[in-house]
Amino acid sequence: MISGLNEQLRRIVLSGVLKEENASQFLEQITALECSDIGKPITLYIDTYGGSVDSALLIYDAIKACCCPILTVGIGKVMSAGVLLLAAGDPGNRFITQNTRVMIHEVAGGAFGSISEMEVSVVETRRMQNLYVDLLSRDCEVPKSKIIDDMKQGEYYMSAEEAVKYGIADKVVPTRKKISKKAILSKSKKKTAIRKKKTKK
């Protein structure tokens, strides 16, 4: 995972696989931004296939513990553990771009060693999944039973619009290209109207 920071714009970019070292880096970055101006919003861009659940939980807790408003933006793909991070943003300030893909699935884990050791590993993996479901259910305001049923399908994919309906994000944002086109059209109409007024005079 690449964790990029723009201090001036107060933006953090999480891109790639969620790993321990980058999660720690994120913690340092969000803490630094919080200390530099308590209460001023921080924007978090998320583009990930997922990764370590432990790393995702570290980032999740850092987001929830931050005193600054956190705006989350899903862009590209937001999958697996990354979905938890998008949903963790402040209510009303969780955005997703129109072509972003979202996916949730059951927590995966490998078990090896003695039978007793593998049994312990399975129990812990199940506990982690229950925690994931609990947190996602709370932030999305979706029944746990629905999340569990959807994850049992294997990989449950959603479009940006479907992710908003699910409660993972609050709003689909258009691309900059479309925004700029609208702005250009608006300016063009204003100029045309001014010219018509001058012609009439």
Would residue 105 show up in a list of annotated catalytic residues for this protein?
yes
| The residue to which tokens 């569990």 are assigned | 148
Distance of CA 160 to the CA centre of its chain: 12
Q: How far apart are CA 31 and CA 63, in angstroms?
A: 10
Would residue 80 show up in a list of annotated catalytic residues for this protein?
yes
Helix, strand or coil for residue 160?
A: helix
Q: How far apart are CA 102 and CA 91, in angstroms?
A: 18
Vertex 52: Cα angle to 97 and 10 (nearest 5): 45
Q: What are phi and psi of 16, to 5 degrees?
A: 105, -155
Which tokens go with 180? 């700029």
Q: How far apart are CA 171 and CA 169, in angstroms?
A: 6
Q: Which of 3, 55, 80, 137 is catalytic?
A: 80
Q: Which of 3, 15, 36, 105 is catalytic?
A: 105
Q: How far apart are CA 91 and CA 146, in angstroms?
A: 21
Active site residue ranges: 80, 105
